[in-house]
Every structure is written in structure tokens, then in C-alpha cells.
Amino acid sequence: ACVRRNSNRAAISHLHRQLYGRLYPVLLVSTDGSTVRLRYSEPKRILMMPLDSSTLPEAERKARLRRHFPSKPKAKEEETFEGIDLDTYKKFWKK
């Protein structure tokens, strides 16, 4: 099989490249909320910087962890019919 390494290869299928050939305008959002416009190699609209949890106060860090990893839902207790008086519902039964 002959492999062509020229411009005609792109006409047959998509471009096989790891990096894009140009830089795209992107909005970078830092952790304090400030924004900076920069040029990035991939076509994205917004990039967000990761938040460093070691700089947060202890209460806010625990709150963020609770939101990120919610607790498992508690199992509900099944209803029992022991405390129900069946004579009050006799009028709804078919005879």
C-alpha cells in the first residue's frame, strides 16, 4: 500500500495531526475570577485554571469536598400496615 505524504491526503479523509496549524483566541479564567485573552493551540472558548484547595479555609474546603463527593442516599424504611385501622376503609371495598 502506497502512503502519500502530501496535500492530497487531506482531501480523502480528515487531517491526521496532533497540533493545529494556527493559534485560536481563548478566554483564560483564573481562580480569583479575573480573565485574560490569549492565543491557544486548540479551538476552545474558555479555559479555567484549577483551584488550589490548600489555599482555601478549612470550612470552605470541606464544603467543596462535600459538593464534589455527595454522601450516599439513605435507605428508606418500608411502610408497614400494622398501625392502620382497616375498619375505616371498609366502605371502599367491593362487596
- The letter for the amino acid at 92 is F
90 — phi, psi (to 5°)?
Answer: -65, -30
pLDDT tens digits for range 33-66: 899 999 988 888 999 888 888 888 999 999 988 8
pLDDT at residue 59, as a whole number: 93
pLDDT at residue 7, as a whole number: 62
pLDDT tens digits for range 15-32: 566 666 788 999 999 888
pLDDT at residue 25, as a whole number: 93
Going by their DSSP bridges, the two strands 24-29 and 46-48 should be labelled as: parallel
Instruction: Report residue 5's pLDDT band, with 50, 70 and 90 as the boundaries.
Output: low
Per DSSP, the residues of the chain read -----STTHHHHS----SS-SS-EEEEEE-TTS-EEEEEESS--SEEEPPP-GGGS-HHHHHHHHHHHSPPPPPPPPPP-STT--GGGGGGGS--
- The letter for the amino acid at 11 is A
pLDDT at residue 37, as a whole number: 93
